[in-house]
Amino acid sequence: MTKGNYVILVRLDKKLEITGGLLNDLVLEPGVYAYAGSAMNGVEARVRRHYRKGKSRRCTLRLPRGWKST
């Protein structure tokens, strides 16, 4: 089992608008975004969870200081 950190890169081909939640409305423009995570119980299992269908959906965003959503 490999423990450690990982990064998942996501490319958006079109604008993504997310409504509701703590950030109110959030608009992600087309581009490449990175999600960094840790997997102290195994990187392989943790990354597989991101691609599993039917998993509980939750999201934690850490925004740079001074960044504001729309």
Domain boundaries, the chain: 4-51
More confident residue, 23 or 9: 9
pLDDT for 15 equals: 92
18 vs 9 pLDDT, higher one:
9
Could you tell me the pTM of the whole model? 0.57
pLDDT in tens, 28-66: 889 988 888 888 878 788 778 778 877 766 666 666 666
In a 13 Å sphere around the CA of 21, the CA atoms on its Cβ side amount to 14
Indicate the burial class of 27 (C-beta count within 10 angstroms; 0-12, 13-18, 19 or more): exposed
Torsion of CA 42, 46, 25, 27, to 10 degrees: 100
Q: Is the model more confident about 68 or about 4?
A: 4
**Three-class SS of residue 18?**
strand
